[in-house]
A and B are shown apart, each in its own frame.
Chain A
Amino acid sequence: MDFSLSNEQKLLMQTVRRFIASDLAPLEEEVESEGELAPEKAKAIFKKSQELGLYATNIPVEFGGAGLSAVDTMLLEEQFGHTTDILIRRAFGNVYEVLLKCQGSQIERWLKPCVTGDRTASIAITEPNAGSDAAAIKTRATKTKNGWRLSGSKHFVSDGLYSDFFIVSAVTEPTAGSRGISLFLVDKASPGVTVGKDQKMMGLRGTSHVELFFDEVELSQDNLLGEEGKGLRHILETLGRVRLAQVGARAVGKACHVQSLMVDYAQNREQFGKTISEFQLIQQMIADNTIEINAARLMVLSAAFSIDQGHDARDLISMVKVHAAETLGRVVDRAVQVFGGMGFCKELPIERYYRDARIYRIFDGTSEIHRTVIANSTLKKGDALFDMGA
């Protein structure tokens, strides 16, 4: 078992880190106060990142991506975690791997333009009455002579204002339950598609989250992504790696970022004639952060390694989802505590990290859903889920 990093891995991480520090970090406060990333600045960071080969690195080489292994992807994603959601989206892209289900002409129309940054897609699965219970959706696609007719609505569509097409889940066979759901590629400009309001959030400033309405949108057979009736399966198969990267690895990166600031502050803030890092109650918080961050990272990399080995890593990913998200939550909470009043004050970014962290326990499956998955797997598979020697 070799835990060391290769020179290439170190260099990749260094390159991303330098790029984030020099080109992305300086934009964070501006996005926070303006509520959006200026288009010309978004373009500039996209261009520079693309020149560095850092855009859409998760996509295989044959489609124009970098074809990184899951482990390498996680190492990069952890570094991405040092900056904000919107800056990651614009600089490094967010090409959903479910688009790899594209076939024939779909590849040129939907997949490849996302890899080159010419198009951007959002996933539209969640509905007001169907969050974790993704099979409870009401959006319906019925067969027509030439294809499909789509009606219904979605909400919380991340980056929906910016994206120019959507990956939409819809019921195609109402009697088949979770096996009656299919995925559709829907252009924003299609007649019958309406983008609703931007739903303002507690954090993630700069990223829009919109409602979408579909009023008898006419789709061709070419708009069906993957197989009819296998929509949920396609999502489950491909979202795991995305979840590991965008929640697990990024949470570790964010936690590192916050811990570094917290330790630095504790070593400089003096009270009662000494730095607060000398107080044992502060030291406990420093130690707990360090322990939990390292544990979370090992879990992320071990799940990624399992993916690279071709194993089914869904249980491991659920464990990461819970542990990394909750680690981040505890780390930012301790950071606010150590920074004290300054942690609550908008003059420092600590309160922003605190707000941005809260969604990690919710999106991509709540901690509760993933705990349920882990419990069910443990009850079903027994010791194999936690005992290496079993």
Chain B
Amino acid sequence: MKIISIIKQVPDAEARIRATASGIDLEGVTFVIDGMDEYGVEQSLRLRETGLDAELISIALGPKRFEEAIRTSLAMGSDRAIHIETDEALDPITQAKVLANIIKEEGAELVFVGGKEADWDSAALGPAVAEALGWPHSDWTTKLVVSGSSLSVTHDSDEGSETLTLPLPAVVTTQQGLNEPRYPTLPNIMKAKRKELKKLALSDVGSPSGKTQLLRQEIQTKSRLNKVLTGDAAEAAKELARLLHEEAKVI
């Protein structure tokens, strides 16, 4: 079985991030593998250590510096990695399409994605990958057991937590509580140097064009309106659409 962990690199949580008038200044900032993604890498290692016959692959889509995060996953124990290298900031939907194609090509049966990006705070990539693949998806997963061709997961829901069984192949988004990721050991760090890291350009994956463009970044200064809509879902949705159209004028 092939297990894929999708990883990205983010500023270290302890880094001092400077927000300037023209955006976020990342000069001199230390970058690390996203902690949310580490849970996925760790889980794939644990599945193998508890007897699952699996090849573990890390995939990252992003700029050259992501290589460091990829090497971290290889040093933790992944077997090989694929890096689609680009400086373009693609939206999660477009990223998901690119990643889904590679996942299909690889014939993977289980995909881990970090529950939420530490930098952009987006939680869209996991569900978007599942959607692009047409596979079932478990979000905010805190426990996971593979048995035969199915997956038993415990995940957080609005009301608490619930346990589900999903058929494989499936996408799982990970979060704190799933496991405690290991540090790379010195021998594994040295071994990681010799592991395969395949490089692809966006042109190798069909030159996708994003659905969004990053025009500028600014510090949010306006306070939120904190308007809460009441009534049943249908009424609330109608009211929300009216507000977005008439007051916010965004649709």
Determine the chain A residues whose CB is within 8 A of the CB of B185 once the complex forms.
Answer: 15, 51-53
Cα A9 to Cα B189 with chains together (Å): 9
Q: Are B75 and A53 interface neighbours, CB within 8 A?
A: no
Determine the chain A residues whose CB is within 8 A of the CB of B184 once the complex forms.
Answer: 11, 15
Q: Is B137 an interface residue (CB 8 A)?
A: no
Q: Are B32 and A66 interface neighbours, CB within 8 A?
A: no
0 or 1 for each of A55-73: is its CB under 8 Å from B? (1 = yes): 0010000000010000000
Q: Is B186 an interface residue (CB 8 A)?
A: yes
Q: Is B4 an interface residue (CB 8 A)?
A: no
Give the residue of A7, A18, A57 whose beta carbon is less than 8 angstroms from that of B186. Answer: A57
Q: Are A15 and B186 interface neighbours, CB within 8 A?
A: yes
Main SS class of interface, B: helix
With most chain A CB atoms within 10 A of its CB, the pick from B185, B189, B192 is B189
Q: Are A52 and B186 interface neighbours, CB within 8 A?
A: yes
Interface residues of B in 174-218 (CB under 8 A from A): 183-190, 192-193
Main SS class of interface, A: helix
With most chain B CB atoms within 10 A of its CB, the pick from A7, A52, A53 is A7
Determine the chain B residues whose CB is within 8 A of the CB of A11 once the complex forms.
Answer: 68, 71-72, 75, 184, 189, 192
Q: Is B42 an interface residue (CB 8 A)?
A: no
Cα A66 to Cα B190 with chains together (Å): 10
Determine the chain B residues whose CB is within 8 A of the CB of A15 once the complex forms.
Answer: 183-186, 189
Cα A53 to Cα B183 with chains together (Å): 11
Chain B residue with Cβ nearest A51: B185
Determine the chain A residues whose CB is within 8 A of the CB of B188 once the complex forms.
Answer: 53
Determine the chain A residues whose CB is within 8 A of the CB of B192 once the complex forms.
Answer: 8, 11
Determine the chain A residues whose CB is within 8 A of the CB of B183 once the complex forms.
Answer: 15, 18-19, 52
Q: Is B67 an interface residue (CB 8 A)?
A: yes
Known: A8-B193, A14-B32. A53 touches B68 (CB 8 A): no
Supplied contacts A8-B190, A8-B193, A11-B75, 11 more A-B pairs, CB within 8 Å: A8-B189, A11-B71, A11-B189, A11-B192, A12-B189, A15-B183, A15-B189, A51-B185, A52-B185, A57-B186, A66-B187
- Interchain residue pairs with CB less than 8 A apart (15): A7-B71, A8-B71, A8-B75, A8-B189, A8-B192, A10-B68, A11-B71, A11-B184, A11-B192, A15-B185, A51-B185, A52-B183, A52-B186, A53-B185, A53-B187
Interface, chain A (partner B; CB < 8 A): 7-8, 10-12, 14-15, 18-19, 51-54, 57, 66
Interface, chain B (partner A; CB < 8 A): 32, 67-68, 71-72, 75, 183-190, 192-193
